[in-house]
Amino acid sequence: MLVGCSWFTPPKFDGNEYFFFPELETHARFLTEECDYPEQAKKRIDQMMFRSETLQAYSYYLPHSSELYGSSKIINSQLVELRTRYLGEEPPSVTYCKIKAGTLIKEIRRILTTAGRLQELQ
């Protein structure tokens, strides 16, 4: 990419892309408290799906983003599975919801740790 009079190589770390993950982690923490209330949980999951889909679209077009794009796909697939359960005739159990939310939190924190280290290496 040419910027001004010099060539510019896009960085391998994008702060905007990174920011989506703490936001999703925060939503997942709130979800654990809302699992007792299926309508609230479904609304939270819908919000998370929107952010996750936005993250995927954003990451897809970034150069050097294959790792975080792949991670965003993992998070999105977990959210799709959870949302599908809430769209059924009966919402999933509170235990199922809390386990899924906990899994999302752990996975997102793993991504954040890995991406943070990537940023330190630049």
CATH 1.20.120 fits 2-121, yes or no: yes
Q: Which two tokens stand for residue 58?
A: 């954003």
Q: List CB contacts of 68: < 8 A, sequence separation 6 or more.
A: 14, 17, 18, 59, 111, 115
% of the chain residues with pLDDT over 90: 57
Q: Which pLDDT score is estimated for 119?
A: 53
pLDDT at 10: 46
Mean pLDDT of the chain: 84
What is the arithmetic mean of pLDDT over 11-15? 62
Q: In degrees to the nearest 10, what's the CA dihedral of 34, 40, 43, 45?
A: 20
How far is the CA of 57 from the CAs of 47, 54, 73, 94, in angstroms? 16, 5, 10, 31
Distant-in-sequence, close-in-space partners of 101: CB < 8 Å, separation ≥ 6: 28, 29, 31, 32, 35
| Domain parsing of the chain, residue ranges | 2-121
pLDDT in tens, 26-75: 999 999 999 999 999 999 999 999 999 999 888 888 776 667 888 889 99
